[in-house]
Structure formats: structure tokens, C-alpha cells
Structure 1
Amino acid sequence: MTGRPAPTVLPPPLRTPLLLIAFLAALIVVALGLRYAGHTRPGRVDEWVRSAVDGVRPPWRQAVLATDFLGEPVGAAALVVAAVTGCLLLRRPRAAVLVLLGPALAVVATRSLKPLVGRTIHDVHLSYPSGHTAFLTAFAFALALLAAGRTGIRTATGTLLVLASAVVAGAAMGWAQVALAAHYPTDVLGGWGTALAVTPACAWLIDRIADRIAHRNAARTADAGRRAQPR
């Protein structure tokens, strides 16, 4: 009600490095998309990585299926609802919006890119970039931004925290997707890059919009206070 801005979701010390990383990630996504456009077979890198993770057996098979479930609609919705609730309890509304919109926009981006790239797996399924990988990477990225903002850590440490979270989440989901033969490894890399490109930009946009709304409300409050003063 006072018009005071809520804590930023993209901490100012991390803004420049993460937006630069977003730009570089977008270039990687585009480069891989051009490289594998229209392909129906794995590349050399894909074959090498697939051979390393082929033949997953219990209990790792259960871990693969559980990780894959986190990218399915029910699992993803459960993660997002829990995270949004946590953000609201911590009084971080901007983080709640990012946890909701960041992964959603990352998935939308992958779905938009798939028909443009036209790469297929098993001859029929569009595969580049991986939506499952993009979702979990963006989700972890958003939570790491929340943690970095609350702890107030410095630029280098905060950037490493966010990137490490994105790497771990992307690697876990990517491993599951390759082990299940749902995606080529380069599809996974494309999904990971998509999340890194979309999430910081989404966070920056949320802060810009929220700041404008807060400043507008503050101006209205100040104007109403001046009008209420006796003359």
C-alpha cells in the first residue's frame, strides 16, 4: 500500500553477468538449431554420450523415471505450486511470479523452436530443444535467484550459485532424457541453453514492470496525501 518496491528477483549485482550469460546461451541455442535443423539421426557427440549412459538398470532406472516425472505436467505443476507457495510465505511475490513464469516461458520457447528446427527422434517426434530439460533448469535457476537475493551474496558467488543450480538440474534431467531415449544429448544442451536465455530475461522484465507499478502507486499515494492536507 505504501508503493515501496518489493525485493528484486534479479539481484542488481547479478544482473549484468546473468544477462550476458543469457545472451551467450541464446547464441548456443541458435547455433545448435542451425547445425541440426532437419536432422533425423544423432550426431557424433550424441552417439558418444548416448553410449556412455546406455543400459540404465535398477535402481538407477527408478531414479531416471522419477526425474523424468518432474518434467511431466503433474510433476511440474506440483513443483511450481509448492515453490510459489513458499515464495509467498517468504513474502517474495516477484520470486513467486518468476517461479511460475520462468519455467513456463522456457517450455513455450522450446515448443516454438521445435517445428522451426524440425529435428526428429524415432523418425516422428520433434526433439530439439528438450522441454523437460528447459523446465527443470529454469525452475532451479529461479529458486537459486531467490536464495541469492535473500542471502545478499556477492556477484561472483551469486553467479556461481545460480549457474551451479542450473547445471545440476539440467544435467539430472538431461541424463534422464538421454537414458530414456527421449532426446539426443544435443537436444538436452539446447533445452538447457533455452532456460538460461529465457529465465534471466524474464526476471529482469518482472522487476521492470513491478518497479513501474510500485513507483506509480507511490506517486498516487503522495499526490493523495498532498490533496488531503488542509490549505
Structure 2
Amino acid sequence: MRTAVRTAPAALPAVVRTPSLVAAVAGLVVVVVLGVGFAGDTAASAFDAPLLPGPDLLPDPWWYVATVVDFVGEPMGSAIVLVLFVGAALLARRVRTALLVLVGCGLTIAVTSLLKPLTGRTIHGGFLSYPSGHTAFATALALIGAFVLADRLGRAAALTVTAALAVACGALMAWTEVGLGAHYPTDTIGGFGAALAIIPATAYAVDRVADRL
């Protein structure tokens, strides 16, 4: 097992390592600034208000689409996705990636869950909302998938794919959570920032530990 970990492809490919770690710092800043700024709030900010859906939320058939996407971030859905990601990584002999899925996504879920009561921002009269754990989870998975693809691409293409996947998946889940009335838009930005901060840093840590085995 030790040999398999040491010789496996990097969790954070060198081609995107530095930009990803810089982005991680930016993500951390976003999480902290928004968390402090909206701590204890019980209403939409001036930025959020125009982006919120009407009282009837999303119309059909978009409500059903959003419900399916939302399931990915629910306990059952996230467990299924994690098993699939870990299984695929192990089949591809990417042991470090499998570890990143478990540790990185686990940390993402834990951190966003802990930040909710710490910030105390609520929506709909008492539901803790900041940051969006669903958005963070979707972005985390996108980043991990992008790191796998980056191994096969040149620097420019790798950076483009990484950014595009993270933004696309994060935006899709953000649209879902806002459309279903579960979060303010700024909650989803905080969730995106959390994944951006956690996943590259965790991937770097996994590689450092693996290289020392």
C-alpha cells in the first residue's frame, strides 16, 4: 500500500500547483470576509436581493432539474458520489486522488458545517445558511476531477479546464440552491470559496505526505 501511494500520480499536478494554491488563499479570504460581513444576518443583502427567485421559487420543469442536482449534495447523494469517485480513482490506480476525495471532501463538508453556527446567518426564519455546503461539495468534486484531467494537458489548457469545471459545477449548484430557496447567492459564493481554499491545500498535503512514505 505504501508503494502504491508513493508511486501514484500526484493529487495536485505540478502544472496547476502554484495557481491552485494562490487561488486557495483567495478562496480563504472570500470565506472569511463574507462570513464576517454577513454574520448574524437574517435577511438578503443588497447584492442578494435582485438575484433571489420569486415567492414561488423555480417554475416547472426547472424545479425538478434543481431537485435532482440538489440530491448530489444531500447525505445519500454525496455518499453515492464519493463511492463512485473513490472507486474510479482506485481502478485508475490514482491512490492519491482517492485519498484526496475522502480527505478533501470530508474536510469541505466538516468546515462548511462548522461555519454555519459560527457565522449564524439564517434564511427563512432560522435555517443556517452560510456557507453553502452543497456548493462547496460540488466545487470540490469539480476541482478533483479537473486535477485528474490536468495531468494530460499542457499548462494553459490545464488551467482553463480547472477553472471552467470549478466555475461551471459551482455555478450549477449555486443556481440550484438559490432557486430552491435554500441559500442566498452570497452563501454560495462562500461555499465556492471554501472548496477553493480546502481542496488544493489538501491535495498538496496529500502529495507531501505520500512523497515521504
> TM-score, normalised on structure 2?
0.94
Structure 1 residue 5 displacement after superposition: 2.5
Corresponding letter in the other structure for 2:191: G
Query: What is the match of residue 204 of structure 1?
Result: 204
Q: SS of 1:57's equivalent?
A: coil
Structure 1 residue 83 displacement after superposition: 1.1
Q: 2:65 aligned with 1:77, yes or no?
A: no
Higher Rg of the two aligned structures: 1
Q: Contact 2:143 / 2:165 at 8 angstroms: preserved in 1?
A: yes
Corresponding letter in the other structure for 1:196: L
Q: Contact 1:46 / 1:185 at 8 angstroms: preserved in 2?
A: yes
For structure 1, which segment, 111-120 or 72-81, has the greater mean C-alpha deviation from structure 2 after superposition? 111-120
Q: SS of 1:175's equivalent?
A: helix
Query: What is the match of residue 119 of structure 2?
Result: 117
- Aligned runs of 1:52-131 on 2, under 5 Å? 55-131=57-133
Query: What is the match of residue 7 of structure 2?
Result: 5
Cα distance in 1, alignment partners of residues 2 and 39 from structure 2: 52
Structure 1 residue 121 displacement after superposition: 0.8
Structure 1 residue 2 displacement after superposition: 9.1
Q: Which digits, 9 at most, give the CA deviation of each residue in 1:93-112, with x for residues without a partner?
A: 11111122222211111112
Q: 2:139 aligned with 1:165, yes or no?
A: no
Corresponding letter in the other structure for 1:122: H
Query: What is the match of residue 179 of structure 1?
Result: 179
Q: Report how many aligned residue pairs link the two structures.
A: 211
Query: What is the match of residue 137 of structure 2?
Result: 135
Corresponding letter in the other structure for 2:211: D
Query: What is the match of residue 50 of structure 2?
Result: 48
Query: What is the match of residue 33 of structure 2?
Result: 31
Q: Contact 1:54 / 1:179 at 8 angstroms: preserved in 2?
A: no
* Structure 2 residue ranges without an equivalent (≥5): none
Cα distance in 1, alignment partners of residues 119 and 170 from structure 2: 21
Structure 1 residue 51 displacement after superposition: 4.1
The Cα RMSD (Å) is: 1.7
Q: Contact 2:57 / 2:180 at 8 angstroms: preserved in 1?
A: no
Cα distance in 2, alignment partners of residues 2 and 173 from structure 1: 36
Structure 1 residue 146 displacement after superposition: 1.1
> TM-score, normalised on structure 1?
0.87
Q: Which digits, 9 at most, give the CA deviation of each residue in 1:176-216, with x for residues without a partner?
A: 11011111000010001100000000100000111111xxx
| TM-aligned CA distance change 1:140 to 1:53, over 3 Å | farther
Cα distance in 2, alignment partners of residues 137 and 2 from structure 1: 29
Q: 2:15 aligned with 1:17, yes or no?
A: no
Structure 1 residue 12 displacement after superposition: 1.0
| TM-aligned CA distance change 1:204 to 1:59, over 3 Å | same
| TM-aligned CA distance change 1:52 to 1:193, over 3 Å | farther
Corresponding letter in the other structure for 1:199: I
Q: Contact 1:53 / 1:179 at 8 angstroms: preserved in 2?
A: no
Cα distance in 1, alignment partners of residues 29 and 21 from structure 2: 13
Cα distance in 1, alignment partners of residues 170 and 79 from structure 2: 18
Corresponding letter in the other structure for 1:104: G
* Structure 1 residue ranges without an equivalent (≥5): 214-231
